Structure 1
Amino acid sequence: MNFVAMDFETANGHRTSACSLALVLVRESKIVESFYTLINPQENFSPRNIQIHHIRPSDVADAPTFDQVWPHIETLYDSSHLVAAHNASFDNSVLKGTLSNYGIYPPKFLTIDTVRTSRKFYPQLPNHKLDTVSQGLNIELNHHHNALADSIACAEILIKTEQQFGADQLKKMVKLTS
């Protein structure tokens, strides 16, 4: 299975406030490459968000804005690529909101949500949060809410699910973003 696992962290409750992004490239069910960047959201940080991900305004002061990051990653977002995220509705809306904030038309791409796949294939878990699913599947997640650690865990969840249940079962859960 080939896909890109994606995770955003945000500065506040707005979907336009991406402050970090990680992408993990999976080819033939193996992680082959990763990308991580801090992002200057040009927005205020919420104390609650800082408490969750530990990214502070001073950390992103010299970071690129998302419109500067986008040209380096946009080729991964088209209808020929599958993008996975744990709670994809959140990460996809952050991508869409952040792009729209810069006047960039959001692309349509194939997406799969590992919260949904986990609910379907691992109903015995007490909940389907990223840390719970990772623990239930014996996947290491040492720095939860670090975008790179979360993207790697998401990728490994989807890889393990494919190994246990098959790619055909997962393909039924792929959607095109709107």
Structure 2
Amino acid sequence: MDFVAFDFETASAKRTSACSLALVIVRDNQIVDELYSLINPQTEFNYRNVQIHGIREQDVQDAPTFGELWIHLAPFFTANSLVIAHNAPFDNGVLKATLTDQNLTLPTYQSLDTVRTSRKLSPELPNHKLNTVAAAYDIDLHHHHNALDDAHACAEILIHQVNQFGASAITPLIKTIN
């Protein structure tokens, strides 16, 4: 399968507060490229979010805004693109809220949530959190809540599922986002 795995970290509970983003590009079930960037959300950071991901306000002072990054990201979010995330409603929601907040056009793309695929294909797991699924599939998750490590783990989860269960077990769970 060809797809892009993505993950956001946010500065606060606000969906418009993206402070880091990673994309992991997969072609023919092989990771071929990645992109990681800090983002200046131009908003305050909540101490709880900082505890989770370790990104502080001073870390993003010189980082680009999401609007400045979007020109490089938009080609990955097209009607022909499959974009996946672990807990995709969160990441898709951050993308939509941030684009709307910055008056940028919302893309149409195909989305797949690896929480849903994991629930369907590995119902025996005690839960379907990223770290639990990664451990069950023997995937190394270096730093949970680091956007790049999380996106890598998500990509490897779907690669594992495609290899073990086949694409036909996964494609019914794909949704169109617009």
**What's the TM-score, normalizing by structure 2?**
0.99
- Matches of 2:21 and 2:109, distance apart in 1: 17
Q: Gapped runs of 5+ residues in structure 1?
A: none
SS at match of 1:172: helix
Q: Equivalences for 1:2-151 in 2 at 5 Å?
A: 2-151=2-151
Q: Gapped runs of 5+ residues in structure 2?
A: none
Aligned sequence identity (%): 56
SS at match of 1:16: coil
List structure 1 runs of 4+ shifted beyond 2 angstroms. Answer: none
- Matches of 1:123 and 1:171, distance apart in 2: 18
What CA RMSD, in Å, does the superposition of the two structures yield over aligned residues? 0.5
- Matches of 1:11 and 1:99, distance apart in 2: 16
Number of aligned residue pairs:
178
- Matches of 1:42 and 1:99, distance apart in 2: 14
SS at match of 2:5: strand
- Matches of 1:96 and 1:6, distance apart in 2: 14
Q: What's the offset of the Cα at 1:59?
A: 0.3
- Matches of 1:44 and 1:146, distance apart in 2: 19
Letter of the 2:165 partner, please give it.
F
Letter of the 1:24 partner, please give it.
V
Q: What's the offset of the Cα at 1:20?
A: 0.2
- Matches of 2:108 and 2:11, distance apart in 1: 25
Q: What's the offset of the Cα at 1:160?
A: 0.2
